Amino acid sequence: MTSGWWTEVPEGPGGSGSGPRTGRDPGSLTLGAEEEYLLVDPVSRRLRPDAEKVVAEAAAELGGRVTRELTRYQVEVRTEPHRDLAAFAEELRSLRRAVARAAARHGLAAVSSGTPVLAQPAPTPFSEGARYARSVAEFGALDDEQSVCACHVHIGIADQELALRVSNHLRARLPVLVALAANSPFWQGRDTRYAGWRTITWARWPAAGPPPYLASRAHFEDLVAELTATGAIMDRSGLYWDVRPSHHVPTLEVRAADAASSVEDAVLLAALVRSSVATALADIEAGKAAFRPSDELLRAAYWRAARDGLSGAGVDLRTGRLAPAPVLVERFLDGLRPDVLRHDDMAAIRAGWARLRAHGNGADRQRAAHRARGRLTDVVDHLIRATTAARPESQGGT
């Protein structure tokens, strides 16, 4: 991501974007997203290490909104900031189609999945660059297993102290987001028995997963300094917590979700994140303290959300007991403050949740595609279609 990504966009009647905000007015919150895609051969359905060619091709249309990632299997795109959710959705569709066209010109296809479905060859081909080379030297086999893709949602909050307070309020909501967004059941050609395997493999990093409770900005800065001094992170950008203040743009970044197979899933995630941030801001303004589950229980809730997704049980952080995942989602939604939420966000949330209840999340739909004939190549085909589909997927991606 370049420092110019989150640019000032003039406000005006009907405008879709806005520049950076302090975030104190929940109705003014801007949102944007970064999505990561995998490149596959549409015949063999296996990963292809041709990201540099595809990025160069797509950049002719997208400019700086498309870039490389750690491995040469991955392409990353980023939206502009938006206030209007429909405009955000349309830009996501446009970005996905542009990457798909660029990939097709090189005999490839793009898929949006948290993990590759089929086994990938070893060793992992890494992108060129001093930072990537340093990461491989420092972290070794951790990098070898990072052909994984996420959807990162950015909410415009320029005040870092405020962003950290919002992070404290979001911590307990993260396991439900992990379950809703789970889209990585397959890894190295097998079913992992997890809905969100990316969450599990990503948690191996020394500064990843749910963020700690942050008492102040000074506390945050001390932690960053300590983690850097120990080599756990190379610098501030290596802080991989699932909520973090961006180190170079005025946003709070929520990183808990797998790459979404469909635009509709990504829009639901963005609406939930913005609504959660708006609720947190209102609670902070009202002097309401953040609910603070123990670190141990929060990690257990993460593990259970990644394992079961929406198809099993999750951890109720208030009681420490299991509850059906859909019940926990309903409680999540009940906890959003309707007085501060945007109408388009609530409409997207209602429609998106109804669709997931009927057809499952991304992991459920990947498995449905596999059950039809028992072929993992059918899962890849499903993902290719879903990534650029013009309308929501049905069960099994048909």
Domain residue limits, the chain: 26-397
- Segment 180-233, tens digit of pLDDT: 999 999 999 999 999 999 999 999 999 999 999 999 999 999 999 999 999 999
pLDDT at 20 over 80: no
366 DSSP β-pair partners: none
- Torsions phi, psi for 244 (to 5 deg): -155, 150
Q: Rounded to whole angstroms, how far apart are CA atoms 18 and 28?
A: 8
Q: Which of 165, 6, 169, 166 is nearest to 80 (CA)?
A: 6
Q: Which residues, in sequence order, are CB contacts of 93 under 8 Å at separation 6+?
A: 263, 388, 390
- Segment 332-371, tens digit of pLDDT: 999 999 999 998 999 999 999 999 999 999 999 999 999 9
Q: Which of 176, 162, 167 is nearest to 318 (CA)?
A: 176
What is the reported pLDDT for 150? Answer: 98
What architecture is domain 26-397? 2-Layer Sandwich (3.30)
- Segment 259-315, tens digit of pLDDT: 999 999 999 999 999 999 999 999 999 999 999 999 999 999 999 999 999 999 999
The pTM of the full predicted model, rounded to 2 decimals, is 0.93
What is the reported pLDDT for 393? Answer: 58
| Segment 322-327 mean pLDDT | 98
Orientation of helix 263-285 relative to helix 174-181, angle to 10°:
170
Count CB atoms within 10 A of the CB of residue 185.
Answer: 29
User: 79 with 26: CB under 8 angstroms?
Assistant: no
| In the chain, beta strands by DSSP E | 31-40, 66-68, 74-78, 109-111, 150-156, 186-187, 190-191, 208-209, 240-241, 243-245, 251-258, 313-316, 321-324
Coil vs helix vs strand at 170: helix
Q: Rounded to whole angstroms, how far apart are CA atoms 337 and 359?
A: 27
